[in-house]
Amino acid sequence: MGRGKIEIKRIENSTNRQVTYSKRRNGILKKAKEINVLCDAEVSLVIFSSTGRMSEYCSPSTTYISLSSVFFSLVLCACYTYICMMGFGLKCEKIDKGVGQVSEGFREEFLSSEVDRVRKENDNMQIELRHLKGDDINALQPKELIPIEEALQAGLEGVRAKQASLHLVFL
């Protein structure tokens, strides 16, 4: 993608390598952001240059900040590592042998179904919200549009009535 074609192999000239790294890193980060926006994809990207400098991108929408327990983080971290390593068929014995944990099946089962339930509720609301905002309505039948229109109309009237009353107060 430049003046000349290059072979995909380690760039021996270190200056060149550094320059190419910067450019390509920016390119990848940009593309990561684009696919997130264009396609609703979640992306987690971490790049280390050969000098150890790190760049990263995580798509927004995340709530990991709320997970404050350090222990928890470490476990997740280990987990992530494990995923990466498994990708290359490596075994991570440390994790296997690591902390033994007693798990109480019932509570977990409850939590699991609760997560499912709340998530479903979430999905439905998200769809409703989208529709109210005029998104994703192309797939809808004419009939289905009517209640949406009515809801919007009613909402608008409500808000405007409220605004009008506030306005009176200010006069």
Partner DNA sequence: CAGGCTATGTATAAGTC
Partner DNA sequence: TGACTTATACATAGCCT
- Tell which positions 2-21 bind its own copies, by CB under 8 A: 6, 8-13, 17-18, 20-21
Positions that interact with DNA (CB under 7 A): 1-6, 15-16, 18-20, 22-24, 26-28, 30-31
Residue with tokens 């109210």: 132
Residue 127 near its own copies by CB under 8 A: no
- Report in angstroms how near the CB of residue 22 gets to its own copies at its nearest: 9
**CA distance linking residue 27 with residue 21, whole number of Å:** 10
Say which entry of its own copies, DNA, none residue 4 contacts (CB below 5 to 8 A, set by partner kind). DNA
Q: How many residues bind its own copies (CB under 8 A)?
A: 127
Residue 168 near its own copies by CB under 8 A: no
Q: Which is nearer to DNA, 3 or 9 (CB)?
A: 3
Say which entry of its own copies, DNA, none residue 171 contacts (CB below 5 to 8 A, set by partner kind). none
Q: Which is nearer to DNA, 23 or 162 (CB)?
A: 23
> What count of Cα atoms within 13 Å lies in the side-chain half-sphere of residue 29?
14
Contact 57, 45 (CB under 8 A): yes
Q: Which is nearer to DNA, 27 or 147 (CB)?
A: 27
Nearest to 44 by CA among 29, 56, 58: 58
Task: Give the H or E element holding residue 57.
Answer: strand 54-58
Residue with tokens 């405007």: 160
